[in-house]
Amino acid sequence: MSRALPPLRLLTAFAAVARTGSIQAAAAELNVTQPAISQAVRQLEDHAGVALLDRARRPARPTDAGQALATAIAQGLGQIAEALDALREADLQRDSRVTVACSVGVATYWLMPRLAAFYKAHPDLFVNVVTTPNGVPALGDGIDIAVRYGHGRWSDGLVRHLFDEEVRPVCAPALRARFAGPVPPGSVSLLHVRTPETSWVTWDEYLRLTGLPPVRRGGQTFTNYVQTTQAALDGHGLMLGWRSITGALTAAGQLVDAGLPPLAPRDAFYLVARTKRGGRAVETFADWLVTRSDPA
Amino acid sequence: MSRALPPLRLLTAFAAVARTGSIQAAAAELNVTQPAISQAVRQLEDHAGVALLDRARRPARPTDAGQALATAIAQGLGQIAEALDALREADLQRDSRVTVACSVGVATYWLMPRLAAFYKAHPDLFVNVVTTPNGVPALGDGIDIAVRYGHGRWSDGLVRHLFDEEVRPVCAPALRARFAGPVPPGSVSLLHVRTPETSWVTWDEYLRLTGLPPVRRGGQTFTNYVQTTQAALDGHGLMLGWRSITGALTAAGQLVDAGLPPLAPRDAFYLVARTKRGGRAVETFADWLVTRSDPA
DNA sequence: AGGAAATATAAGCCCATGGTTATCCTATGT
DNA sequence: ACATAGGATAACCATGGGCTTATATTTCCT
């Protein structure tokens, strides 16, 4: 049955003697006087019950027993010190990283293009973007911030308004050119997005809310706005363009307004941040995104 | 660059919390009050700069970081404790063992027969007998005691007188029976022992010192008294019987006095013990051997 | 809403720790 | 024999470590 360990000070004093080669050198390294180390090692020997130093030789050298113990001390305490360093390092890392969850469309056309400016302003921080294939982007293990479209009344985090949206039909220029006036929804292929998120406006809702006649189901259906946007760019039909997704493409002339009325939904985009365990990076990024947010 | 380790008390307090499952249980195990452990873990967290316990749950549980650190503490301190235990164990072992060096003849006919009585008196001690093939039994690495025949004026250890010797010619009863008077040395085969040790009386010295006529070289020569004694037992000749070697055999009638005058050499048997690093067993055995020593 | 259990906090205090200085002792080299 | 270097010992003391008690706070269950 082992007795309690001796005081750490005795262990480190002896390890220093073994490492530096003499009691005097160890004292110098530890910034104490030589008697302090001499007494410390003697106390350790009393505790251990065996001689750890051969003092007949000058400078004193560890006995075989002492060498064995010095090795165990170095390894044992080294292991603990490494674990502490690793924890601090991980904490520093965590404090310089933030993970954001959002839909793949928002990620591709809104968030990622903005990150360059964020890194320019904060080169020491790193944003990890996680796209949720479907459903509402959620907070949780490893997710610090979620960018959500919806009513904004969530309770799982701190909610901050990013921007209101506007939805208008857009299409490829070539498709637009086929009609003198607005592109009639009933005469072209409509590009649908079907997602479990029920907040996003669908073609049916758009037509109903703008007083346009309903269109019998046709066209193509995708599961995300990246594919839908690509199909529109390819001239495959008419899509509902959300300003945060297609605003830049429309400004660049790659997509054009279809001449139909725009729709301003009541829902908006929000940033939701976890209230616990938020490090410096999370707060910095959230603040930046809120102040720099505009839909296009 | 790692900072100094925190006090051992904080490490062991936290490790106890991780192992026992609560701050209260750790306090009970360490025989302090619950606030003592609560404060100790808080100090460790301040030192480490990370949360080690999830206190929202009752009882408090280690965080992932805390679990990692607790493991490192257990392994690191365990390694040091094991090293200390091993040193103490080795020391205990050394304290219950003694190694004795002597000639093979003394070992066989004098020392080994006595060890049974020693073990009876000291069942917790162990005597390791090392026979030196030739030369004076020496102290040194691993040899605590030497049993030597000689002048007794050695300086390599503590010298204590065991017993004086007596040398007399002895032979098998059948050889003795061939002569009405003393067995004449010149008429039988003499059994010689040739050894680098120059203290032991040879046949030449014996005949000269007792005034008997010298005998031209003949007979057999052996390198130790075990073989010589066996040859005498077999009736192969006349040997010089040292009381410590052949006393018991003569008392048992296996060998008989040849009727020639005995010789009391000036040299004697001594015990020489190392003066350094003598453990309890060495002193105990040396004392016992000195008080229980008699030549036969 | 209230009680039980676990943890946190603040204040207080005793005593042991962790050194220091002064000096002695021992080993080794010249 | 002497000088130097390294280590040992004794006496001393200031400080803060390592608790304690008392009480507050928080979480969870009934």
Using only C-alpha atoms, what is the Rg of chain B? 34
Residue whose C-alpha is closest to residue A296's, from A182, A176, A168: A168
CATH fold for the domain made of A95-164+268-291:
D-Maltodextrin-Binding Protein; domain 2 (3.40.190)
**Residue A86: its chain B contacts at CB < 8 A?**
68
CA of B2 to C1' of D21 (A): 37
The reply to whether omega before A133 is within 30° of 0 (cis) is no
Q: Which CATH architecture has domain A8-93?
A: Orthogonal Bundle (1.10)
Assess whether pLDDT exceeds 60 at residue B160: yes
The predicted model gives B197-226 an average pLDDT of 86
3-state class (DSSP) for residue A123: coil
* pLDDT score for B277: 56
Distance from CA of A2 to the nearest CA of B (A): 6
Q: Work out whether strand A238-242 and strand B97-103 pair parallel, antiparallel, or are unpaired.
A: unpaired
Chain B environment of A77 (Cβ under 8 Å)? 5, 76, 80
- Proportion of chain B above pLDDT 90, given as a percent: 44
Distance (Å, whole) CA B162 – CA B294: 7
Q: Over the stretch A229-264, which tens digit does the pLDDT of each residue have? A: 999 999 999 999 999 899 989 999 999 999 999 999
Nearest CB among B69, B77, B87 relative to A69 is that of B87
Q: What DSSP state is assigned to residue A139?
A: -
Residues 6+ apart with CB under 8 A from B257: B168, B169, B170, B250
Q: Closest nucleotide to A42's CA, by C1' atom?
A: D8
Residue B54 CA to residue B60 CA, distance in Å, equals 5
CB-based contact, B85 to chain A, within 8 Å: yes
Is residue A130 pLDDT above 70, yes or no? yes
- Residues 6 or more apart whose CB falls under 8 angstroms from that of B10 comprise B40, B41, B43, B44, B47
- State mean pLDDT over B166-188: 91
CB A147 within 8 A of CB A106: yes
Mean pLDDT over residues B45-64, rounded?
A: 89
Contact in structure between B137 and B270 (CB atoms under 8 Å): no
DSSP A157: S
Q: Which pLDDT score is estimated for A115?
A: 86
Chain B residue with the nearest C-alpha to that of A84: B48
A193 — phi, psi (to 5°)? Answer: -120, 120
- Per-residue tokens: B143: 């040899």
Mind listing the pLDDT tens digit for each residue in A53-106?
Answer: 998 888 899 999 999 999 999 999 999 999 999 998 888 777 788 889 988 888
Tokens of B231: 């040859």
CATH homologous superfamily, domain B95-144+273-291: Periplasmic binding protein-like II (3.40.190.10)
pLDDT band at A226 (very low <50, low <70, confident <90, very high): confident
Q: What is the dihedral of CA A74, A75, A80, A82, to 10 degrees?
A: 100
| Mean pLDDT score across all residues of chain A | 88
Given a cut of 70, whether residue A3 has pLDDT beyond it is: no
* pLDDT, mean of residues A46-53: 89
On the question of pLDDT at A216 being above 80, the answer is: no
ipTM higher than the 0.85 cut: no
| B8-92, CATH topology level | Arc Repressor Mutant, subunit A (1.10.10)
| Parallel, antiparallel or unpaired: strands B190-193 and B238-242 | parallel
All CATH 3.40.190.10 domain ranges of chain B, comma separated, are: 95-144+273-291, 167-257
B154: confidence class by pLDDT, cuts 50, 70, 90: confident
Structure tokens at B21: 């499952």
Q: Which two tokens stand for residue A101?
A: 């969850």
Domain with CATH 1.10.10.10 in chain A: 8-93
Q: pLDDT (tens digit, 9 = 90+) per residue, B23-33?
A: 999 999 999 99
Tell me the H-state helices in A4-63.
8-20, 23-30, 34-48
> What's the DSSP call for residue B31?
T
CB < 8 Å to A84, chain B: 2, 5, 47-48, 69, 72
Tell whether B40 lies on the interface with A, counting CB pairs under 8 A.
Answer: no
Q: What is residue B245's three-state secondary structure?
A: helix
pLDDT at A162: 92
Of residues A224 and B259, more confidence is placed in B259
Q: Which residues touch strand C (CB under 7 A)?
A: A 7, 9, 32-33, 35-36, 39, 56-58; B 22-24, 34-35, 38-39, 41-42, 53, 55, 58-60
Q: Where in chain B is the domain with CATH 1.10.10.10?
A: 8-92
Structure token pair of residue B266: 């000036």
> Is the C-beta of residue A226 closer than 7 Å to nucleic acid chain D?
no
Q: Is the distance from CB of B77 to CB of B11 less than 8 angstroms?
A: yes
Residue owning tokens 């020593």: B293
User: Does the A167-257 domain belong in CATH 3.40.190.10?
Assistant: yes
Q: What is the DSSP string of B127-174?
A: EEEEEESSS----BTTB-EEEEEE----SSSEEEEEEE--EEEEE-HH
DSSP 8-state assignment for residue A49: T
In chain A, CATH 3.40.190.10 covers 95-164+268-291, 167-257
pLDDT at A139 over 90: no
- pLDDT score for B270: 92
Q: Which residues 176-235 of chain B have a CB within 8 Å of chain A?
A: none
Measured to protein CB atoms, the chain D nucleotides within 7 Å are: 5-11, 17-22, 26-28
Q: Which residues of A touch B71 (CB under 8 A)?
A: 83
A89 CB within 8 Å of a chain B CB: no
Per-residue pLDDT, A282? 86
Extract the tokens encoding B119.
């073990």
Contact B288, B237 (CB under 8 A): no
Chain C footprint bases within 7 A of protein beta carbons: 5-11, 17-22, 26-28
A75: helix, strand or coil: helix
Using CA atoms in the order A255, A256, A258, A262, what is the torsion angle rounded to 10 degrees?
90
Find the residue closest to D19 using CA and C1' atoms: B36
Q: Which of A79, A93, A275 to mutate against chain B (most B CBs within 10 Å)?
A: A79
CA proximity to A13, closest of A42, A55, A49: A42
CA dist., res. B236 & res. B190, Å (int): 9
Residue B135 has pLDDT above 80, yes or no: no
The identity of residue B77, as a single letter, is: L
A24 touches strand D (CB under 7 A): yes
- pLDDT band per the 50, 70, 90 thresholds, residue A2: low
Q: What is the pLDDT of residue A119?
A: 86
Q: Select from B6, B28, B25, B8 the least CA-distant residue to B17.
A: B25
Are residues B269 and B159 in contact, defined by beta-carbon separation less than 8 angstroms? no
Checking if the pLDDT of B95 tops 80, the result is no
* Range from A127-141, B31-45, B81-95 carrying the lowest mean pLDDT: A127-141
C-alpha span between B296 and B113 (Å, rounded): 11
Average pLDDT, chain B: 88
H/E element holding B56?
none
